[in-house]
Amino acid sequence: MTPEDYINGQVLLIDKPLKWSSFQAVNKLKYALIKKVGLPKKFKIGHAGTLDPLATGLLIICTGKFTKRIPELQGMPKEYTGTFYIGGTTPSYDLETEVDETFPTEHINNELIEQVRLSFIGEIDQKPPIFSAIKKDGKRLYEHARAGEEVEIAHRKTTIYEFELTRIALPEIDFRVKCSKGTYIRSLAYDFGLALNSGAHLTALRRTKIGEFDVKDATLITDFEATFIPEQA
């Protein structure tokens, strides 16, 4: 593609690697395009929905005039797969922090798990994790958390359209979930453990779809660089 193609607008499907932030992924792509395609340093580029560093999967990146489509893409339903670990919680609700409390699991059976699964389908109230990028009093929540500050976090409405448990092998439960914009899967893990009269945290997460866009059609950034943006002559 030519510089004009990227400036006129492209929707790029990237499979974000583990431990990369979404910001790092966008920057990596931006500087590759500047260096190899000859795009100006101030050309527009952005992503349509953050993925945590400990998550992998579909990241939609828009360039040029298509950055105007980002709000539309962000509003689309998302699909994720991953793993809950039952019997322990962490302050971040995932593996970013260490387990801080353990809970009994002996009472948990398939019938209880199924009751809890069904209770999360539809519109639910969800509290975002304290380790998140939402702003409160001018600071990101994770900044408050790392400073040891207690802040009040408001619940928000979100919708779980589909919630399937694909493997139950306690203490692990694998899942597939389709949800609305703004859903925190880490909070879903925490709340799922609570509803089991136990505790839980997220140990793996992969975003597989955004609307009709599928991670099967996405490219790793390294492959994208090699295949789609060869060095200019």
State yes or no: is 52 an active-site residue: yes
Strand partners, 219: 14
In terms of DSSP H, where are the helices of 58-184? 70-74, 110-119, 141-146
In whole angstroms, what is the distance from residue 122 CA to residue 8 CA? 39
Pick from 53, 61, 58, 2: nearest CA to 27: 61
Which among 15, 52, 94, 191 is annotated as catalytic?
52
Q: Tell me the two tokens of residue 68.
A: 């105007």
| CA distances to 14, 24, 61, 89, 181 from 4, in Å | 21, 24, 17, 49, 32
Residue 204: CB partners within 8 Å, gap ≥ 6?
Answer: 82, 83
Active site residues: 52
